[in-house]
Amino acid sequence: MNTLLDELKSAFANAAVAPGGGESVKPEASALRVLNVQIKGHQLDVTVTAGAVVAAAELADRFGFAMDTITGVDWIGSGEMEIVYDFFHTQHGSHLVVRTRVPRDNPAVPSIHRVFPGANWHERETHDFFGIKFIGHPNLTPLLLPEDADYHPLRKDFTNAA
């Protein structure tokens, strides 16, 4: 497990221009931290800029991680929204967490559904709850809310006017 996370950590640190896509974005792995969660399981926590999430997901895919979940967090106090991508591994107990922050008034992040098709529904749900736009997503319509919903309930300033 240690070797996997060490390799992953150095892969993040050394990654250059992202393959594919259109724009060349350099995955700046700032604030890279490795946390020991349990005796057996390990967690690698990576913070990247919004443009780098696709490259980060591709690295996760290359190392054999599976899509766990995508969480949105509304930091209304600092005017940001955080998107946390969780990946788990089916062979090791390792865990990869990729975080990014976007401004709250126009939250947009590239979609990773081409790398992990499972992200399709997670991104739709995050859009439902927070209004975060996932650029390149094929179908950003409401998933859990009614089809004609135009509200985003998990925002901290959501008051139910309906």
Partner 1 sequence: MQLEHTVESDNPTQSPRETFVLNVGPQHPSTHGVLRLKLVMDGEYILAVEPVIGYVHRMHEKMGENRTYVQFLPNPSRIDYLSAMHYMHAYVGVVERALGINVPPRAEYIRVITSELNRIASHLVWLGAFLLDLGAFTPLLYAFDDRERILDLLESVSGARLTYCYYRFGGLCNDVDAAFVEGARAFVKHMWPRLKMYHGLVTENIILRKRLEGIGVISAELCRKYGATGPVLRGSGVACDVRKLEPYSVYNEFEFDVPHFGDGDCMARYKVRMEEIAQSLRIIEQAIAKLPIGPIMAEKVPRVVKPPPGDYYFAVEAARGRFAIRLVSDGSEIPYRLKLRTPSFSNLALFGEAARGLLLQDALALLGSLDLVIPDVDR
Partner 2 sequence: MTETGELDPRRSALVRFARLDQLLDLSRANSLWPLTFGLACCAIEMMATGASRFDLARFGAEVFRPSPRQADVMIVAGTVNRKMAGPIKTLYDQMLEPKWVIAFGNCAISGGPFVFPGQYAVVEGVDKLFPVDVYVPGCPPRPEALIEGILELEEKITGKRRWPRVTVE
Residue with tokens 């509200």: 151
How far apart are alpha carbons 115 and 144 in whole angstroms? 23
Query: Pick from partner 1, partner 2, none: which does 151 bind, CB < 5 to 8 A by kind?
Result: partner 2
Q: Taking CB under 8 A as the criterion, which residues in 125-144 touch partner 1?
A: 129, 138-139, 142-144
Cα three-residue angle 107-112-116, rounded to 5 degrees: 145
Query: Where on the phi/psi map is residue 131: left (φ > 0), alpha (ψ -120 to 50), or beta?
Result: left
Greatest CA separation for the chain? 53
Of the pair 17, 31, the CB lying nearest partner 1 is at 31
CB of 3 to partner 2, least distance (A): 45
Please give the size of the binding site for partner 1, defined by CB under 8 A.
Answer: 38
Q: Taking CB under 8 A as the criterion, which residues in 68-127 touch partner 1?
A: 68-69, 71, 73-74, 84, 86, 88-93, 95, 97, 116-118, 120-121
CB of 151 to partner 2, least distance (A): 7
Please give the size of the binding site for partner 2, defined by CB under 8 A.
Answer: 8
Tell me: does residue 151 bind partner 2 (CB under 8 A): yes
Tell me: does residue 121 bind partner 2 (CB under 8 A): no
3-state SS, one letter per residue, for 71-99: EEEEEHHHCEEEEEEEEEECCCCEEEEEE
